[in-house]
Structure 1
Amino acid sequence: MNITQEKVDDLNAIVKITIAPEDYASRVEKSLKEQAKKANLPGFRKGMVPVGHIKKMYGKSILVEEINTLLSETLTKHLTDNKVEVLGQPLPVLDDTIEFKWDNTDEFVFNYELGLAPAVDVEITSKDKFTYYDVKADEETLAARITNIRKSYGKMTNPEVAAEGDVIYADLVQLSPDGTVFEGGITSTGSIRTDLVTDKKILKSLVGLKKDDVIELDVQKAFDGNETVIAKLLNIEEVDAKELKSKFQVTVKNVNRLEESDLNQEFFDKIFGPGVVTDEAGFRAKITEEIESMFQQDADRKLQNDIYTQLTSQTKMQLPDEFLRKWLKATNEKLTDEELAQGYDDFAKNLKWTLIENKIITDNEIKIDYKDVFETAKQRLDAQFRMYSPQPMPEDQLAQYTTTFLQEKENANRIFDEVKALKVFDYIKSVATLDQKEIGYAKFVEMK
């Protein structure tokens, strides 16, 4: 067997593999004997089928399989032994002029295209400067979060008169263009959430309503054409809600209001545990800490994006673009030329970042341990659970959820990639110059 690699240019190469009969004969013979032992054919006892009979029936398919296996092993070994860094996977060069007999006498010659990884020269120093934002909670954001938490632990009441934020339980009847009830039209009993009403004039008309009041409601205008909200209110399909033009007669049956929980010790203990918070000031401080912790995650993501943008821009490297386009088409049969043209630049940019990441990891001997992956996964799950309840999940239960979560290969790979990125960003932050800047949440959002 002979294997050679010919350099086309700095980013492309051709690997030629020549396989002679003596390279594959023993493998094929062994496979035929194994197949004969396992074969269960009419007229023969199991395991007693002659090898010649198996060869006559399955010889060609076994030969093809062994040649493919030998090619894969040979190519992989060549790339590994010679430390050839490739992008994508090698692509076979199709040659319609060559025909093989597949009779165990062929000398097989196969050529493969390689897309070679470029040399990456990246060095992070204190001359690399980034802005790191310290995002502070404003009163409006803090007040909204406190209200939501208090309502989560509050109680339902039925006031006589509706106010903003209430839910109006009502009968709705579809009207004709002339304002009369539409015969055979849509009728529904549903809940009108005033917090979802976007039209200020309509919201004003809902405030002050009481039981048995009757008004006319333009649902499209009230909810800004949100077919999901309209469909749920009228108990119809979203596609029908999108096309709906009619107004509705609304007859109020009841007003529901979720009252905020009192700021007392019982409430504090439910959220944070017994005795952790004892007064309103401590409660506000805890909620501020929680909000700003979430803001910090947003600030970290912005810093990461700024680092990604700057380094991919300033790190010069060429990619084997023609090969990569061909490889993308070969490995994604449904990918159209238009989709490839539209998405290739983003693909190339992300590939450049991967090469930068790998270079930083290699040059600085950055290690990624399972412990890092486990802890990151646990933090992500904890954050998800806290979206539904501010009270933390018991540590042993959270660890059990994390273990189960990471047993899914896709989840484990995703978290591994996240840890890898975080390790690289942590290194960059430790070397580059970070200009810390305090900023209010509202102004920060405008920048995103």
Structure 2
Amino acid sequence: MKDLSSISPIIDNIGPFNEVPQEYNSQDSYNSLLNSKILIIGSGGLGCEILKNLSLTGFKNIHIIDMDTIDLSNLNRQFLFRSEDIGKSKSEIAVKFIKNILDDDTTLEIVPHFKKIQDMDLEFYKQFQLVISGLDSIEARRWINSILFNLAESENLIIPLIDGGTEGFRGQSRVIIPTFTSCFECSLDLLNVKTTYPVCTIANTPRLPEHCIEWAHQLEWTRQFPNTKFDADDPDQVDWMFNTALKRSKEFGIEGVTKSLTLGVVKNIIPAIASTNAIIAASCCNEAFKYITSTNPMLNNYMMYSGDDSIFTYTYSYTKKTNCSVCGNIAKNIVVQNWWTLQQFIHEIKSKQDIQLINPSLTTSSKLLYMSSPQELQISTKSNLSKKMRDLVSVGEEIVITDLNLPISLKFIIQFEGSYEDPEFS
């Protein structure tokens, strides 16, 4: 077994803020550290740092899952990868690198999974004592958050989720303990809103490289490939988007369209900075160590880091929302304008920061309003899209909204207000 002398002072000497010092036992802490099974989700900028930290801090049984492959643009900050690794699985190469470095530690077991997190069943997640998320996908973070809360409520199995995220010089880490703390869904409104540009500017008078990219993304892609959703993870489609935007920029004499900017615009990516990743990953691993060993109390429950305007951190307890669709127990109230059609309502809820749906289906207790799938139900309910909401739903009636991308249901109580005519045409 690799020498644990570097961390023994932390475990052998109880932390000054330990809330139950009379119950603390250092040998139990060692055993927990050596025997606990930890899952890391994501092996990108944060995931590489987290995997390295855990491997060097005494954790012996680690799994890491990521569906992505290594790209040239990853190499400046995802330090476990090299140029010869381009095109290979991130999780598999990350594990191979760590094992090569720590080949003298025969007790260290790290298992890679080259899959989407949604492809794993509940039995897979039930084997872990802790999950650490280093994802840049809001959709995936919502998914794992709801899965862990479902396990807590249906099987009384509490698996904490430590979530880290970075945006340029800023970042955050948080500890989510299902049924005890607020969850990831509670804080959707804290996330940055995607920058949007007027369609008229994109179509007629572009002035920025982003305008050219959005023209290719919103208008030209739909024109060239109707009924085909653009996949920002497909290299061929990204190349098409870049070349189309570049051609557009040359027509209008606009400079600055690059492949990295193209990917950043279509995926709403803020450039990552290695030092920020390292700080947030360290915070996540610190919380993991404290939880597994019980040496000190965990973060309660949200830490914000800022490195762009001076350097500081701010910690506070983020309160649970009673109308949260995952950890709350009441429906959200939502105001609907009297002139809205069902189509307009769907457009509005998809764009709301605290809802963020992709392809929703809507029902009430008595009828199907619109089903995005299967095709038979989509066809049979499509006619409702042009109907007014006030003709489909009663005041105070509850609407249940589901999305194939999320294993949760969102509940809304409808209230009507405003004009009965679209103000744009009145």
- Normalised by the size of structure 1, how large is the TM-score? 0.19
The structure, 1 or 2, with the larger RCO (C-alpha pairs under 8 Å, 6+ apart) is: 1
- Normalised by the size of structure 2, how large is the TM-score? 0.20
Structure ID, larger Rg: 1
